[in-house]
Structure 1
């Protein structure tokens, strides 16, 4: 294991870059972080996200390995947040899924799929089917609005922007050297050479399209509203064949509403149609959204590999690339963090096979500049 003076250059100050910078600096390593944007992470996909931690709900659209990463994250996020100096909203009160009568067939299909996924991954808490009375007991704000629903216990969420700000504060506190509006390519470094970092960690997302030839953007659109009349207590999803939305309640009656997923790297403003559909669907869940105030309509593109799964790879000594977090960034980031720290500490990862993670390392064992994750 190398001495504590090991040095790291991290490219990209989004969610993964900030998590790695904080963990490495905490272990006593020298860390420089470079980003094409500023400290507000305005170009990061993590800024435009609902930050839901919903492995069973997401099992309908992803693979078991990602689901297990999400389950891992539900235990890890409280540990990670507890070490930050600034508070971050975190909630673990489950996910609620509701539907209107005309969409009952689609809801039955989804229920069967989630039940099968839960049997395949037994560590997931089982979903609970609710009638009107049970639904009203779980979420009083929806009393009388829906005849049936599903409750997925144990799932959670956090406030993405509070987290990014808290990680920024932690980087400052730990003396991470931050280089804003300073994009860098891995080829700008010669790891291990005199005056160069021992490791380069490339976490640039879509900014890393040069080394990741097949990387693509998947556009998402969200509306943030302030709705004092709405008292939803947990993330709520509406089953719909055309626009199945989610509503994630944050602190102080702030709600993040989203659904759209478009195969495009277009970062232009949201369309009138998609905004109307999001707001109409939210109103269909709770009429109190009629008097909500629109705080923001935002778009961003998530970095996505051809199989929609994350990957970690090393193509040359001293350079580790982390990418492909797609729509699951906050749900899988702690697992990705722990795998990277294992690789840096020991040259291998015991966690990666559990997550079916695409981990590509050089044939020879990696050098060991960082301590293993404790």
Structure 2
């Protein structure tokens, strides 16, 4: 990279989702003049990350994620508290681990899952060792599940945060930092000529699926989640249930709010949740804890996660002073801190040691 950010550069960011908002606040704190164009409304409502469960579970997700994503997840566990700390509003974050449980008839699936975790732990250094649990161990790990499951696995140190609180805090931070955010204002890369008189110095495209006209390979992978208020349920940490058809997760937030999900459909359909998905998610949640039966459904949500052909993220610079970041798929909260840090290294130093550490694809002649 030949063009780097100079002091007090002007930066335009397309997309006020998770990564766009993080980069906007960090660049503004570095003294740059930042403006953001967002196709949707405020508070991140149009972002896939707004719907997500916001779990940071490197080992748990290794079943469907490459080792590079696992390493990004480890990085995220350390970085999220640092990214949250300067925000002007509190954001719930905890690292109580992930609890995985199953019924006796699914023991063979659990054994295969444990073997996959063992393989990941042999490939990725410094992952906390999973802890097999018997019935007493499950009860000790989470008294709310006492007597419900005879076996389980505890994956220590994994975490989660409250995505809704995060978006609210980032929105407030952008206001306080004087960042111009233009909501309901879709823009294309072609609308700008970075480096030209009267134009921004750099353009950063973080639009996800909104960048499809620019990044033709990106596709949508649909996810469906239920948000429930269940005062009778006191789960202390994200809990996953092994099931022959799907692996459900229940992510507890504050005030007895729970995000329940599992579905993953190759589609960019943003219509409402299907009856089948709702029935499966709710029945599986009831299987984990009967207290969900008296809970109240707050939301039935769907969204499509931006995904590249290899299901991995990428950063590319195919034209001067234009950086494009895409492909966070279903692991946005595990990848966002890593992509944020790599992007800042590239903009400030012209190279990134973290990109090498994470095997992150850097595309375009600037990286030849």
Correspondences of 1:199-214 after superposition (within 5 Å): 199-214=202-217
Question: Where does residue 336 of structure 1 map in the other structure?
Answer: 339
* Deviation readout 1:334-360 (Å, 9 max, x if unpaired): 000000000000111110111010112
Correspondences of 1:209-288 after superposition (within 5 Å): 209-288=212-291
Correspondences of 1:1-374 after superposition (within 5 Å): 3-363=6-366
Cα distance between partner residues in 1 of 2:367 and 2:57: 37
- 1:326 is paired with a residue whose SS is coil
Shift of the 298–2 alpha-carbon distance from structure 1 to 2, 3 Å rule, reads: closer
- 1:299 is paired with a residue whose SS is strand
The alpha-carbon deviation at position 244 of structure 1 amounts to 1.4
The alpha-carbon deviation at position 211 of structure 1 amounts to 1.7
Residues 121 and 129, structure 2, Cα contact 8 Å, conserved in 1: yes
Runs of 5+ consecutive residues of structure 2 not aligned to the other structure = none
- 1:28 is paired with a residue whose SS is coil
Cα distance between partner residues in 1 of 2:202 and 2:262: 38
- 1:327 is paired with a residue whose SS is coil
- 2:165 is paired with a residue whose SS is helix
Residues 4 and 28, structure 1, Cα contact 8 Å, conserved in 2: yes
Cα distance between partner residues in 1 of 2:209 and 2:172: 25
Runs of 5+ consecutive residues of structure 1 not aligned to the other structure = 366-374
Residues 312 and 358, structure 1, Cα contact 8 Å, conserved in 2: yes
The alpha-carbon deviation at position 46 of structure 1 amounts to 0.9
- 2:43 is paired with a residue whose SS is coil
Shift of the 2–105 alpha-carbon distance from structure 1 to 2, 3 Å rule, reads: closer
Count of residue pairs brought into register by the alignment:
365
The alpha-carbon deviation at position 243 of structure 1 amounts to 2.3
Ranges of 4+ aligned residues in structure 1 off by more than 6 Å: none
Residues 317 and 362, structure 1, Cα contact 8 Å, conserved in 2: no
Residues 217 and 263, structure 1, Cα contact 8 Å, conserved in 2: yes
The alpha-carbon deviation at position 112 of structure 1 amounts to 0.7
Residues 5 and 347, structure 2, Cα contact 8 Å, conserved in 1: no
* Deviation readout 1:65-123 (Å, 9 max, x if unpaired): 01000000000001111111100000100000000111110000000110111111121
- Over aligned residue pairs, what C-alpha RMSD do you find? 1.0
- 1:96 is paired with a residue whose SS is strand
- 1:122 is paired with a residue whose SS is coil
* Deviation readout 1:132-189 (Å, 9 max, x if unpaired): 1111111110000000000000000000010011000000000000111101111111
The alpha-carbon deviation at position 364 of structure 1 amounts to 7.4
- 1:356 is paired with a residue whose SS is coil
